[in-house]
Amino acid sequence: MGRPGLHRGMARTSFFNEEVSSRCHFSRTCPLVRRLCTSNSPSSSSIFSLSSPASRRHTPQIRAWSGGSAQQIPGIITSGTDRRLLATKSPRLRVAVDVDEVLGRFLFALNQFCKDRYGMEYGVSDYWIYEFAKIWNCSQEHSNHIVHEFFKSQHFTEGIPVIPGALEALTRLSEAQYELVVVTSRQHVIQDVTLDWLDRHYGGLFQEVYFGNHFALEGKSRKKSDICKTIGAKVLIDDNPSYAQECAAAGINVLLYDWDGAYPWSKLPASGVVNKELIRVVRDWGEVEQELALLAPQLQQGEEEQQDGS
């Protein structure tokens, strides 16, 4: 099941009227977002930026995108003193990280909600595919209803535990040669909750957050491969084999996260996978670090050769 996106920001009113309204559907419905988006920016350039919570450990320059076409993804620097367009190229290796089942135990919290609210009892081992309607033996419409009720519950806002080892590994990676970003399929309706959760558990580690808006009740969606290609992410860490195959076919390296080999849905088909050599299965965050250490020199050398050739 897909998950969600954001546009917390400030911009000059003129820029909001011309640009932000075309991308941020919350501007028409949420007074808070509308007020933030139409605030006068201290910057001399017409651009919008995201708020940077003081709780972030390394006070990074955070960017987020939750709508529009892949070509419209903004490169925006968002520190409090410098708001301007920023190129997405970086000397560090850019790695995209999924949220659910990679950073947090979404299914664990969802199963608790289903049991408490509907008397439905499921464990992680029951999900042979990450499509809830098929697991719950119900219509897609009813499945969507249950999930969006879950989004409104404390099970979602406060009950998603982190994946063991993720914080420690990501802290080491962020201090090395890697630039970490989030690329999630989550929907726009839970974008603020998602950012709050990331701030609480992984504050200061991610430079950008991108939302695909998959399985949403409204709004456009974007492929993960499109987002990764546009923002220059060379590696995606994801638990979903469909996204892994999609990105590998687009030439993006994937670390397919199958925690302790216990994710039934996180298995590649025996045949028919394009560029299968670009997909490596990892079973914990220690293995993520090991695989990235092997990949980094190859990818950086390839990028240098490409730049020399151009």
User: CATH number for the domain including 189?
Assistant: 3.40.50.1000
Asked, for residue 4, whether it belongs to a domain, the answer is: no
Task: Looking at the structure, tell me whether residues 115 and 255 fall in a common domain.
Answer: no
Task: Assign 188 a pLDDT band (cuts: 50, 70, 90).
Answer: confident
For the stretch 229-254, pLDDT in tens is 999 999 999 999 999 999 999 999 99
Task: Looking at the structure, tell me whether residues 140 and 20 fall in a common domain.
Answer: no
Instruction: Determine the average pLDDT of the residues in 162-188.
Output: 96
Asked, for residue 8, whether it belongs to a domain, the answer is: no
- By CB atoms closer than 10 A (0-12, 13-18, 19+), residue 91 is exposed
How far apart are alpha carbons 79 and 214 in whole angstroms? Answer: 29
Asked, for residue 6, whether it belongs to a domain, the answer is: no
Task: Looking at the structure, tell me whether residues 246 and 299 fall in a common domain.
Answer: yes
For the stretch 151-163, pLDDT in tens is 999 999 999 999 9
Asked, for residue 1, whether it belongs to a domain, the answer is: no
The overall average pLDDT reported for the chain is: 76
CA 160, 164, 168, 174 torsion: positive or negative?
A: negative
Task: Looking at the structure, tell me whether residues 302 and 183 fall in a common domain.
Answer: yes
The answer to whether 49 and 8 are in contact (CB under 8 A) is: no
Task: Looking at the structure, tell me whether residues 194 and 266 fall in a common domain.
Answer: yes
Task: Looking at the structure, tell me whether residues 171 and 273 fall in a common domain.
Answer: yes
Q: Could you say which of 89, 124, 157 is where a domain stops?
A: 157
How many angstroms separate the Cα of 190 from the Cα of each of 4, 152, 154, 184, 224? 5, 9, 13, 11, 18
| Active site (catalytic) residues | 98, 100
For the stretch 112-126, pLDDT in tens is 999 999 999 999 999
Task: Looking at the structure, tell me whether residues 204 and 296 fall in a common domain.
Answer: yes
Task: Looking at the structure, tell me whether residues 168 and 84 fall in a common domain.
Answer: yes
Instruction: Determine the average pLDDT of the residues in 2-29.
Output: 31
For β-strands 235-238 and 82-85, DSSP reports them as unpaired
Asked, for residue 86, whether it belongs to a domain, the answer is: yes
Task: Assign 308 a pLDDT band (cuts: 50, 70, 90).
Answer: low
Task: Looking at the structure, tell me whether residues 143 and 110 fall in a common domain.
Answer: yes
For the stretch 197-226, pLDDT in tens is 999 999 999 999 999 988 777 778 899 999
Structure tokens that stand for 275 in this block = 């560029």
Q: How many domains does the chain have?
A: 2
Task: Looking at the structure, tell me whether residues 130 and 199 fall in a common domain.
Answer: no
This prediction has a pTM of 0.74
For the stretch 53-88, pLDDT in tens is 333 333 344 455 555 444 444 433 322 223 232 334
Asked, for residue 7, whether it belongs to a domain, the answer is: no
pLDDT at residue 218, rounded to an integer: 75
How far apart are alpha carbons 213 and 181 in whole angstroms? Answer: 16
Asked, for residue 3, whether it belongs to a domain, the answer is: no
- Residue 114: which domain range? 106-157
Asked, for residue 45, whether it belongs to a domain, the answer is: yes
Q: Which of 211, 160, 226, 222 is nearest to 181 (CA)?
A: 211
